[in-house]
Structure 1
Amino acid sequence: MVKHFAVAGGGWAGFSAAIELVRAGHRVTLFEAARTFGGRARRVAFDGRELDNGQHIMLGAYSETLRLMRAVGIDLAAAVLTLPLQMRYAPGTGGMDFVAPRLPAPLHVAIALLRAVGLERADKMALARFTTTARWMGWYLNQDCSVAELLERFDQTPRIVALMWRPLCLAALNTPPERASANVFLAVLRDSLGASRAASDMLVPRADLSALFPDAAAAWLKDRGHTVHLGAKVTAVCKQSSAWTIEASGAGVGGAQPAEFDGVVLAGSSVASAALLSQLPGTEALAAQLAGFEQEPITTCYLQYAPGTLLPAPFLALLDDPANARWGQFVFDRGQLDDRQEGLFAVVISASRAASELPQDELAASVAAQLAADLAQPELAKPSWVKVITEKRATYACTPGLQRPANETGLPGLVLAGDYTTGEYPATLEMAVRSGAQAARVLARS
């Protein structure tokens, strides 16, 4: 029996749910409040430039994301730059250079560790001991704790913590190690350091985040006769006898209001979904749970330099030290990803609450000075153009033992999809896509 479902949210989770519902033989109508698809991973435009609201890296282990990208016609070879697992700092900064060769696992990590520059023997032994013990444990703790406590238990050296574990934790969980969940961090490491060579590959988007999947997903739905509303904010979800009704507002809403559906996927942010749930009887506790998540921002600082300005690699790690105005944690050379962005660097600051409170010109100047010092290029202190973008609710704080909700809401025909739902991964694109697919399966069964 063909049913008609509504999806509230045109981000990665929402499109994942919509595609899976269509592939199960159902009709879908999708509502997106913004004028651009992608949710908290989307394209933004400033001064004639098309940027992203945050720089992302995917892993080869993102099986669900890659599967759906292929399903909607994305050419992965053209859409992403595939790099081997690595953690590289600019020469002369006191960092490290760790690059996994294209060899079978776990040999690729072992060889990378032997060849790593900038690590002492004690650092290499500590990293090897960590991965060996974690693999023996199944990359899981029976009792969750903070990442900082985990690293202390595993006798990790201060240098390997500073150069490897801290930046990885910030990048993957967007939560400082002192407050981040060890079990979620271990799940990420399992699928990078502890995975097959291909699964541990790092995939850096060449296309903007909307073009990378959501735009193609919207076109895929439309081509098959399904309805996609852009600029249509869902303001209420109600149950009327055997049907669900959606009320939406905005320039992108077409047709009579309200519309009726057999079921609804709430695929907005946890905050947006909490607001809709709070209007429904019986979901008060769930709404409070979602509203209670601690939000963590991510800041990306874009700096434009003269054509021909290059990094030694497509991206590099940076030694951050907020106490000394060193905010950047990773820098990406957008010109090595897209020829149209030659000379454009993107510096990422995860868990950026303190940085985002600074005046934007002050933060940009500090980031530019950090690049100039680390790359030994004084001219980098004076970019020709800068733009600071802070996604204030980029993720939730991924803390030990955090209770994340299931896709089911307790109301038949109403499900959640989002990177904040139950799962092994933190708030990543892969977690959003997995949640959307699971929400679709739950809804189709109901």
Structure 2
Amino acid sequence: MTSSPAKSVAIIGAGWAGCAAALELAQAGAHITLIEAGRHLGGRARGVSLHGHQLDNGQHILLGAYSESLRLMRKAGVDIDQALLKLPLQMVYPQHEDGMSFIAPRLPAPLHMLVALWKTTGLSFADKQALARFSTTARWMSWRLHEDCSVTELLERFDQTERLCRLMWNPLCIAALNTPPERASAQVFLNVLRDSLGASRAASDMLLPRVDLSALFPDKAAALVSKHGGQVLMGHTVQALHQNADGKWQLDIKHSEANTAGITPFDSVILASDFANAERLMQPLPGHTGSMPAFTYESITTCYLQYEQTVRLPRPMLALLDDPAQSKWGQYVFDRGQLHDTQAGLLAVAVSASEQACALDQQQLAQDIAAQLAHSLGMPTLLQPLWHKCISEKRATFSCTPKLQRPDNQTSSPGLFLAGDYTKGDYPATLEGAVRSGVAASKAALAFLKSK
């Protein structure tokens, strides 16, 4: 590729998948044009400015198993130790809830899991037996199913106790797949467990971003694209694309009030937008099969609540017992003050895969969550935040259901590729899934360019 630096690639969409593809291709010698319709990099995982704080449109947890994300962050110049707070695998509930406390010590695998299980409080002997049985059986099966099923069916098949499902497996499933266990893919869930619980001790670490998600990777990736001679176009919407007689790709782009046609044609294009926009752009193309799957979507809401700076949780992150029937929506609470010095007293509560919560008035949802926190943590002062803000992404992820057919990175049009967390792969709609897809699309594009 370095011998043909004139090869040009347009990447439509500057989320994590698009930025991953752009970084890989730019460093391989391609001339990159990264095109983003919005004003911020990161797509559905981006930074937002809120009450003087630089936060995120959704609180995220990364895992030590996110090997491609961590590799590209380092390649982009991110100091991992400074940018991420590293916690051992844990599922800890507030003392005032009927929960559990599971913390994996920093010991070699699988000893870390055995010691964690032995020291866990809040689980009976039968619960611990069930957890050990699950881990042993999953390893024996090489984390593979002959036929996919729901996570609920998998847990029943492995004779997991009701309490263990409620306190550990169901929350882990929702956190990893953003899909309720009764309709979540057991195989994809096992894939995540294989690379975290079933791998090295470091792979199971939980990584909490100390900087906003745009600064964590997309901003630095885009800067490196520019450094390599590429360009990053913000606020540009691709309205159509087509191949000319020479087989090159022409884009029709709108910027503000001006339509810009006739931009220099590209040798290859990577569609790294969301699924709906990718389908919109592909639909008119000759030879398009129209076989793209019909995805359904899941929402994620993050509720930020600011309190006095003296407010501090026992841990940077705690699990919560959600119960929609009692208006308890929160599933995890994060103490932002333990992530960033300037955010003391700021709590972030994650509500995943809950259409009911997303449909509530923001004021009511914030009041419900504040009441849940006050009760669960035994801190009456949490009833009255100084300010609050709920941010909902109604189409945050696709529903990761059993046997879901996801499209390949390769399309039926020569030189046109897909990148996004929805493409075919082992992972659900996570940052790692997006990055892996971007890397796969970049490899496919490089192979195509070298063949020309």
Match of 1:24 among 22, 28, 43: 28
Pairwise CA distance, 1:251:
4.0
Pairwise CA distance, 1:340:
1.1
| Alignment correspondent of 1:10 | 14
- The letter of the residue matching 2:146 is N
Q: TM-score, normalised by structure 2?
A: 0.96
1:362-408 residue CA offsets vs partner (Å, 9 max, x unmatched): 11100000000000001101101000000111100000000001101
| Alignment correspondent of 2:45 | 41
Pairwise CA distance, 1:275:
1.1
Pairwise CA distance, 1:255:
7.6
| Alignment correspondent of 1:317 | 319
User: What CA distance in whole angstroms lies between the structure 1 residues aligned with 2:363 and 2:321?
Assistant: 21
1:253-281 residue CA offsets vs partner (Å, 9 max, x unmatched): 99864331000000011111111111212
1:219-267 residue CA offsets vs partner (Å, 9 max, x unmatched): 1111221100011111111111221011211249998643310000000
| Alignment correspondent of 2:400 | 398
| Alignment correspondent of 2:440 | 438
Match of 2:331 among 315, 329, 337: 329
Is the counterpart of residue 55 in structure 1 residue 32 in structure 2?
Answer: no
User: What CA distance in whole angstroms lies between the structure 1 residues aligned with 2:30 and 2:223?
Assistant: 17
Maintained 8 Å contact 2:183/2:401: yes
* Structure 2 counterparts to residues 293-308 of structure 1, below 5 A: 293-308=295-310
Is the counterpart of residue 366 in structure 1 residue 368 in structure 2?
Answer: yes
Maintained 8 Å contact 2:333/2:347: yes
User: What CA distance in whole angstroms lies between the structure 2 residues aligned with 1:225 and 1:308?
Assistant: 48
> What percent identity do the matched residue pairs reach?
58
User: What CA distance in whole angstroms lies between the structure 2 residues aligned with 1:310 and 1:252?
Assistant: 48
Q: Which runs of 5+ in 2 are unaligned?
A: none
SS at match of 2:181: coil
User: What CA distance in whole angstroms lies between the structure 2 residues aligned with 1:45 and 1:391?
Assistant: 16
1:95-154 residue CA offsets vs partner (Å, 9 max, x unmatched): 000000000000000000000010100000000000000000011101000000000000
SS at match of 1:178: helix
User: What CA distance in whole angstroms lies between the structure 2 residues aligned with 1:50 and 1:227?
Assistant: 25
User: What CA distance in whole angstroms lies between the structure 2 residues aligned with 1:84 and 1:272?
Assistant: 38
User: What CA distance in whole angstroms lies between the structure 1 residues aligned with 2:381 and 2:258?
Assistant: 49
User: What CA distance in whole angstroms lies between the structure 2 residues aligned with 1:376 and 1:283?
Assistant: 58
| Alignment correspondent of 1:144 | 148
- The letter of the residue matching 2:389 is K
- The letter of the residue matching 2:76 is V
Maintained 8 Å contact 1:247/1:259: no
Maintained 8 Å contact 2:96/2:375: no
SS at match of 1:427: coil
Is the counterpart of residue 214 in structure 1 residue 218 in structure 2?
Answer: yes
SS at match of 2:183: coil
Match of 1:274 among 279, 282, 285: 279
Structure 2 CA distance for partners of 1:244 and 1:272, relative to 1, 3 Å: same
Match of 1:227 among 205, 209, 231: 231
User: What CA distance in whole angstroms lies between the structure 2 residues aligned with 1:336 and 1:142?
Assistant: 43
Match of 2:103 among 90, 93, 99: 99
- The letter of the residue matching 1:331 is V
User: What CA distance in whole angstroms lies between the structure 1 residues aligned with 2:215 and 2:249?
Assistant: 31
1:329-380 residue CA offsets vs partner (Å, 9 max, x unmatched): 0000011001111111000011021111111101110000000000000110
- The letter of the residue matching 1:261 is F
User: What CA distance in whole angstroms lies between the structure 2 residues aligned with 1:402 and 1:284?
Assistant: 18
1:1-33 residue CA offsets vs partner (Å, 9 max, x unmatched): 231000000010001111111122211100011
Maintained 8 Å contact 2:46/2:56: yes
Q: TM-score, normalised by structure 1?
A: 0.97
Pairwise CA distance, 1:157:
0.4
Pairwise CA distance, 1:417:
0.2
User: What CA distance in whole angstroms lies between the structure 2 residues aligned with 1:254 and 1:74?
Assistant: 36
* Structure 2 counterparts to residues 332-371 of structure 1, below 5 A: 332-371=334-373
Match of 2:409 among 402, 407, 410: 407
Maintained 8 Å contact 1:229/1:254: no
- The letter of the residue matching 2:422 is Y
User: What CA distance in whole angstroms lies between the structure 1 residues aligned with 2:149 and 2:409?
Assistant: 25
- The letter of the residue matching 1:61 is A
SS at match of 1:260: coil
Q: Which runs of 5+ in 1 are unaligned?
A: none
Pairwise CA distance, 1:194:
1.1
* Structure 2 counterparts to residues 381-396 of structure 1, below 5 A: 381-396=383-398
Maintained 8 Å contact 1:330/1:347: yes
| Alignment correspondent of 1:250 | 255
| Alignment correspondent of 1:87 | 91
| Alignment correspondent of 1:173 | 177
| Alignment correspondent of 1:419 | 421
Structure 2 CA distance for partners of 1:253 and 1:226, relative to 1, 3 Å: farther
* Structure 2 counterparts to residues 68-217 of structure 1, below 5 A: 68-217=72-221
